[in-house]
Structure 1
């Protein structure tokens, strides 16, 4: 049993002071979130997180090493952020949670465009309805391509091709806007 799981076990059994120790163990993930999201949402994480930590089934993660446990807790926090943002009708932007994804160089553009361009306007002006639908479902709501393809009655391959073409359009428009400014 690693140190974090031991702290979680003690926390779930009433040792409230372990909350701060657990947060210290995932300090890197916490700092990343703090830099990436609005301060109000960041503060709300710490209202919800204690309840979530009490509900973690330790039997499911007791064999994890420290690194896997830190990643697991990072994902718990990411999910809290997604829930908060959905409740507040704020788009969930995948770039906040880069630590959970491995991007190739083509996909690295996805991070930059979300950070610098008013995305909603860009989606409306550059993409057609189907492309916009696919991009929003995939990157704002983290819906798998398979599910999206079923909802638009297209194959997964075709849906991926539409998504990639839409990303290319967004990248071109982004670069054009960047040159103009």
Structure 2
């Protein structure tokens, strides 16, 4: 569908199966290639700048080796409640702490994306407001035991059981909460 990219090789630099599936659903041909990057950001960044910074950091790891007809796509997602940035939980105790903090509250899910070629770079962030109902300890424990959400920012996946029973409203892109603002990515790729 994106005829402007038909001569390009797209590289998705992500291990996320959810991002793989969304890009596949766009009908794009791409390869998956990842590099280890220390996901450390300056502490003075505003919340909406953190995922952009991290996605650009991931893209920079490919910069020297990109061919003339290659485009790399990187992304990073954070969850923000008040001034607390929630990344992926280190273990069960941290996952419980995060979900208790999100319970009966609204928070922001912010995804940053970087699209990089030899000659061009486009970066953007998309924010979605998410509201959880009051989650019981039993619900939190059931979710963590059965879904082990240690690979997800904020310790939850909207597309999983806890999203079904616990999220009572969102403002903005659902797919952004899954981990990739796919509509905005499509829009940016169509003019890249």
Query: TM-score, normalising length from structure 2?
Result: 0.25
**Higher strand share goes to which structure?**
2
**Higher helix share goes to which structure?**
1
Higher relative contact order (CA 8 A, sep 6+): 2
Q: From the CA coordinates, give the structure whose radius of gyration is larger.
A: 1
